[in-house]
């Protein structure tokens, strides 16, 4: 089982993700450059955080046109696991792999701190090892994390249980005060209808070792590994 971590010019969280897979999960992992037309046989793809192509036009807007994203689209269409973190989430939105868009944070400030998120659905390959409704402490660091989508699509997301994480208080209440960026319905992470593509603003790779102060994020990657294990066993 091999993880692939994409790199765009301006990515800056790719080494965190690489470290987490190789040194914490002890699994093979490879970097994949944005010009690559294939995913090197990887079984799961991490679209990391950062400022892809400088994010000058809109966050993630240019990255959607890179050759590697064409490969990611095909991979996702065939059921491959794709997790987009922070800027990676923004890229997945711009690519149309996930519905919605990001607006500037409601407070207009870059927010960098630990937040709490509640696991809204444990029925995804990214949360299968977590308890439903459990609260994870994971840091955020972004300027555009104010998730927006039209009413009809929001209703679909809720009905299909595609909202995977919501910002909450430390004891799991979904309140305005616990919402760091004005995100619609406190949404911190969503998956696609097929549940193999996840986007989340919090950085689980930055919270995967106790030595870093918190390892609540590790469950996201452990869940991915568990969901891939039966596949790997058949090879």
Partner 1 sequence: MKARVFVSLKRSVLDPQGKTIHHSLQNLGYGSVEDVRQGKFFEITLDPKISSEQARVEIEKMAKSVLTNPVIEEFRYELEAGEARA
Cα separation of 55 and 64, whole Å? 11
- For residue 123, indicate whether it is catalytic: no
Options 14, 94, 144, 205, the catalytic residue: 205
Q: Does 108 bind partner 1 (CB under 8 A)?
A: yes
Identify which of 101, 72, 87, 38 has the alpha carbon closest to the alpha carbon of residue 196.
Answer: 72
Mask: binding to partner 1, 145-164, rule CB under 8 A, as x and -? -x-xxx--------------
Residue 205 a catalytic site member = yes
Q: Does 101 participate in binding partner 1 (rule CB under 8 A)?
A: yes
Assess 103 for contact with partner 1 (CB under 8 A): yes
Smallest distance from partner 1 to CB 49, Å? 19
The neighbouring-strand residues paired with 85 are 200
Single out the residue of 130, 107, 128, 143 nearest to residue 216, CA to CA: 130
Stretch that binds partner 1, among 91-99, 117-125, 194-202, 205-213 (CB under 8 A): 91-99
Confirm or reject binding of residue 67 to partner 1 (CB under 8 A): no
Q: Is 111 in the site for partner 1 (CB under 8 A)?
A: no
| CB 148, min distance to partner 1, A | 6
Question: Residue 61, interface with partner 1 (CB under 8 A)?
Answer: yes
Annotated catalytic, 42? Answer: no
Q: Please tell me whether residue 107 binds partner 1 under the rule CB under 8 A.
A: yes
Contacts 24+ apart (CB under 8 A), 29-33: 29/2, 29/3, 29/4, 29/5, 30/2, 30/3, 30/4, 30/5, 31/4, 31/5, 31/6, 31/7, 32/4, 32/5, 32/6, 32/7, 32/68, 33/7, 33/68
Give the residue numbers marked as catalytic: 86, 203, 205
The residues binding partner 1 (CB under 8 A) are 57-58, 61, 65, 93-94, 99-101, 103-108, 146, 148-150, 182
């Amino acid at each position: 089982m091999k993880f692939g971590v994409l790199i765009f010019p301006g990515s800056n969280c790719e080494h965190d993700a690489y470290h987490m897979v190789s040194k914490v999960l002890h699994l093979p992992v490879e970097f994949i450059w944005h010009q690559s037309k294939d995913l090197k046989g990887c079984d799961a793809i991490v679209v990391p955080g950062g400022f892809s192509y400088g994010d000058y036009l809109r966050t993630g807007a240019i990255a959607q046109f890179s050759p590697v994203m064409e490969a990611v689209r095909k991979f996702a269409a065939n059921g491959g696991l794709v997790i987009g973190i922070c800027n990676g989430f923004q890229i997945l939105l711009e690519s149309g792999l996930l519905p919605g868009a990001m607006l500037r944070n409601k407070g207009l400030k870059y927010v960098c701190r630990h937040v709490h998120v509640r696991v809204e659905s444990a029925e995804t390959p990214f949360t299968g090892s977590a308890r439903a409704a459990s609260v994870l402490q994971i840091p955020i660091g972004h300027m555009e994390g104010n998730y927006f989508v039209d009413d009809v699509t929001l209703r679909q997301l809720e009905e299909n249980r595609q909202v995977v994480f919501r910002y909450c208080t430390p004891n799991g209440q979904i309140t305005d005060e616990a919402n760091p960026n004005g995100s619609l319905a406190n949404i911190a992470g969503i998956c696609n209808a097929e549940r193999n593509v996840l986007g989340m603003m919090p950085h689980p790779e930055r919270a995967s070792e106790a030595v870093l102060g918190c390892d609540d994020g590790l469950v996201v990657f452990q869940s991915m590994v568990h969901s891939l294990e039966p596949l790997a066993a058949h090879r």
